[in-house]
Amino acid sequence: MTLAVTPVVSQRQVFYVVLATFASQMVVTMSNSTLPTIAPKVAEALGLEAALIGYQVSILFGAATIGTLFGGKFTRRFGACRTMQLSNALCGAGLMLMTVPHVLPILLGSLVAGYGQGLINSATAHLLVKYTPPGRRNLLFSIKQTGVPFGGMLVALSAPVIAVTCGWQWAIVMVIAMIAAVIALVQMRRGAWDTDRDSAAGVKQQKFGGVPLVLAQPSLRWVSLAGFLFAAVQRCLLTFTVIYLVAERGYSLIEAGIMLSLIQAGGIAGRLFWGWLADRMRSSIAVLLAIAVITVVDSVILMAMQSDWPRPAVYAMFLVFGAAALGWNGILHAETARVSPPGMASVVAGGSTFFVFA
């Protein structure tokens, strides 16, 4: 399967590809963000400690790590568009199981949704490399990746309100409905985008996906390990901010959700800005280093946070933290695509994402 950029690609094609990958990334993120956002309500209903949500997130991303090993294979055999749809559908199926008010279905749903999440980056990387010009790739990958904080912001603003007023299951149903809409909309482009699929490609080939390829090439290895560390900070911030503010700092669930939405808003602005800056500087690595420094400083500030801090200062802190801790993804994915061997972008994306999800 050839992943080279199509010789003649219209601006309309680029727009539709970026929009579709953005939307798919958005609903996948909503599927893994909903339960942590409403964790206090879910814990109350199940009679558990809210902090135990960390185990649910670990199970979900553990399954996502396994899914990354198959993302490139599915993309080669079924096509990038169909693989995006499969990713979204598995996330929706997992969420359906999570509406059952019992620990076992929630854990099973986390496994299903997590595996689906693991497929997404190989498919989206394939489409973006195929349809976007190299000189704009940092920005366009970053636009696609803004689907992550944008989806998280939608959940942070809506899920706590729905959980308080209608019940926590309805917050999950809202996300399932959005997933179904995205699957239907992407279907309209499937015929054109999946012409390069290879139905003869074996799904069982390359037992460890793109991981050996990433480990064998130093530039891919170090960038992927950096993604591992960036992702650790990002996931802790997104998973425990609401619980931290409610349990330790006396915030209401809705106000804590607003703070989480500020992190996501900062992530949206950050991804766009950092992507533009990386293209302008022609150096993804320099921008990633700047992001790392800002993330360290913000982490120290968050550790020192007190309940009586002025709200405007807290708002500003979370906005900047979000811009840094959530701003690295698009640049990292664009960099791995840039240094991938010819024709292997989707496989490498899966291998790199393995470390990010781990």
Token pair listed for 36: 């942590």
Question: pLDDT for 175-189, tens place per residue?
Answer: 999 999 999 999 988
Question: pLDDT for 107-146, tens place per residue?
Answer: 999 999 999 998 998 888 888 888 877 777 777 877 887 8
The confidence band for 7, taking pLDDT boundaries of 50, 70 and 90, is very low
- Of residues 333 and 78, more confidence is placed in 78
Exposed / middle / buried, residue 104 (Cβ in 10 Å: 0-12, 13-18, 19+): exposed
Low-confidence winner among 80-94, 194-208, 294-308 (lowest mean pLDDT): 194-208
Q: How many CB atoms lie within 10 A of CB 44?
A: 13
- The phi-psi region of residue 116 (left if phi > 0; otherwise alpha if psi is between -120 and 50; otherwise beta) is alpha
Tell me 340's DSSP state.
Answer: S
Which helix or strand (DSSP H or E) is residue 78 part of? helix 53-78
Question: pLDDT for 234-289, tens place per residue?
Answer: 888 888 888 888 878 778 878 888 888 888 889 888 888 988 888 888 888 888 99
Q: How many CB atoms lie within 10 A of CB 184?
A: 10
pTM of the predicted protein model = 0.73
Residue 75 has pLDDT above 60, yes or no: yes
